């Protein structure tokens, strides 16, 4: 187990700044997910912690110690990648034993056997131990890769999109397994992904990375309910948060759809006429079906337990709402809609920065 801290990390490759003044803290035993689009700087962050890359500026601390002069081996972290790094001509057992070989780490043969057996049981790959790794399915190979990381009991697990090459069903199953594994081992995990569903379902905490900068850190719930800006609002949630333009008029925010939201005092949106953006999650948009209304049903998608309805407002804004699967709706039917005012997040119309949190 380990506590990790990055302080003021900047990483420049040639003329390109991959990370800008990154400050990040991962508690001992925490499952931390770094969420970002391609090129955001996720892999670079992992490589800096693993000791495979040196920061241009800033420091990495593991358990409070500055690890600038520690080699990758001394840092004692395990890196699991999207591509399986297994020896194809070796059996699963040999692949699992490899990191414990006496030449590398002085572990007694009896203990090697015991650790391999325990890891195989945990990952449910006991029946595969004598099979060559080139005869395994993608999911089995990824289990063995994870096994190779676990077997040597590292202080920290760094996982670089380990599930992204797998099909949807397997990804879901391994998500649950990895989360259980982390809880059983009590280990510190830093997991990077571009998949917000993976981040929301696995992370104790999520850090949203954009263009080499950490935009927001919080629990999945905090980030979902109160995104700090419109970038985060759109990056988490499926379908994403509805964003509707509006303006400030006295003590009210007035959306382009005519909807008025009383703000009370201390809303932080000082001047009248200031452009605002309303943020409403699809589950906080209510449809009054059968009532002649101001919006039309533009599209309906079935998702098993729920339907995602796209509405087209009189002002031609497209809004998405989630409704129970049994709700019956016809395309082009008119409906009335309303919002739960307490759940509206208000953003500054120009900068996109959050001004008022949802309750």
Q: Among residues 42 and 115, whose Cβ is nearest to ligand ATP?
A: 42
**Residue of 234, 221, 241 whose CA lies nearest to 321:** 241
Q: Output the 3-class SS for 163-208.
A: CCCCCHHHHHHHHHHHHHHHHHHCCEEEEEECCHHHHHHHCCEEEE
Indicate whether 345 belongs to the interface with ligand ATP (CB under 6 A).
no
CA angle 20, 160, 11 (to 5 degrees): 20
What span, in angstroms and rounded, lies between the C-alpha atoms of 350 and 342?
A: 23
Q: Among residues 191 and 347, whose Cβ is nearest to ligand ATP?
A: 191
Q: Give the alpha-carbon dihedral of 313, 315, 318, 323, to 10 degrees.
A: -20
Indicate whether 194 belongs to the interface with ligand ATP (CB under 6 A).
yes
Indicate whether 39 belongs to the interface with ligand ATP (CB under 6 A).
yes
Residue from the set 6, 36, 136, 276 that interacts with ligand ATP by CB under 6 A: 36
CB 81, min distance to ligand ATP, A: 10
**Helix, strand or coil for residue 341?**
helix
**Helix, strand or coil for residue 49?**
helix
CB 43, min distance to ligand ATP, A: 3
**Helix, strand or coil for residue 221?**
helix
Residue from the set 4, 24, 40, 77 that interacts with ligand ATP by CB under 6 A: 40
Q: How many CB atoms lie within 10 A of CB 203?
A: 23
CB 23, min distance to ligand ATP, A: 17
Q: Give the alpha-carbon dihedral of 241, 242, 247, 248, to 10 degrees.
A: -50
How many residues contact ligand ATP, by CB under 6 A? 13
Site for ligand ATP in 1-30 (CB under 6 A): 13-14, 16, 18
CB 279, min distance to ligand ATP, A: 25
CB 198, min distance to ligand ATP, A: 13
Q: Among residues 158 and 289, whose Cβ is nearest to ligand ATP?
A: 158
Binding segment toward ligand ATP, per CB under 6 A, in 1-9, 39-47, 150-158, 327-335: 39-47
CB 143, min distance to ligand ATP, A: 22
What span, in angstroms and rounded, lies between the C-alpha atoms of 108 and 111?
A: 5
Indicate whether 43 belongs to the interface with ligand ATP (CB under 6 A).
yes
Binding site for ligand ATP (CB under 6 A): 13-14, 16, 18, 36, 38-44, 194
């Amino acid at each position: 187990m380990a506590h990790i801290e990055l302080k003021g990390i900047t990483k420049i490759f040639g003329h390109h700044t991959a990370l800008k003044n990154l400050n990040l803290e991962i508690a001992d035993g925490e499952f931390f997910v770094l969420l970002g689009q391609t090129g955001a700087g996720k892999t670079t962050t992992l490589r800096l912690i693993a000791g495979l890359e040196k920061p241009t500026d800033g420091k990495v601390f593991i358990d409070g110690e500055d690890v600038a002069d520690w080699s990758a081996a001394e840092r004692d972290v395990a890196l699991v990648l999207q591509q399986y790094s297994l020896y194809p001509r070796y059996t699963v057992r040999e692949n699992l034993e490899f990191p414990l070989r006496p030449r590398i780490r002085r572990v007694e043969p009896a203990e090697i056997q015991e650790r391999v057996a325990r890891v195989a049981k945990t990952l449910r790959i006991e029946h595969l131990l004598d099979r060559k790794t080139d005869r395994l399915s993608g999911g089995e190979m990824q289990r063995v890769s994870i096994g190779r990381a676990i077997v040597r009991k590292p202080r920290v697990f760094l996982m670089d999109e380990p599930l992204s090459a797998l099909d949807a069903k397997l990804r879901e199953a391994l998500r649950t397994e990895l989360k259980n594994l982390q809880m059983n081992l009590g280990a510190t995990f830093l997991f990077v992904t571009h998949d917000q569903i993976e981040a929301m379902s696995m992370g104790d905490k999520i850090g949203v990375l954009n263009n080499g900068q950490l935009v927001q850190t919080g629990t999945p719930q905090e980030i979902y309910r109160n995104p700090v800006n419109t970038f985060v609002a759109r990056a988490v949630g499926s379908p994403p948060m509805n964003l509707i333009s509006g303006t400030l008029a006295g003590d009210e925010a007035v959306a382009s759809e005519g909807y008025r939201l009383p703000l009370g005092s201390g809303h932080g949106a000082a001047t009248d006429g200031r452009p605002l953006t309303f943020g409403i999650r699809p589950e906080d948009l209510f449809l009054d079906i059968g009532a002649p209304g101001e919006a039309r049903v533009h599209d309906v998608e079935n998702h098993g337990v729920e339907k995602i309805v796209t509405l087209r407002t009189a002002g031609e804004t497209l809004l998405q709402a989630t409704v129970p699967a049994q709700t019956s709706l016809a395309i082009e039917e008119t409906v009335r809609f309303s919002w739960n005012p307490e759940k509206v997040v208000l953003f500054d119309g120009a900068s996109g920065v959050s001004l008022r949190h949802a309750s």
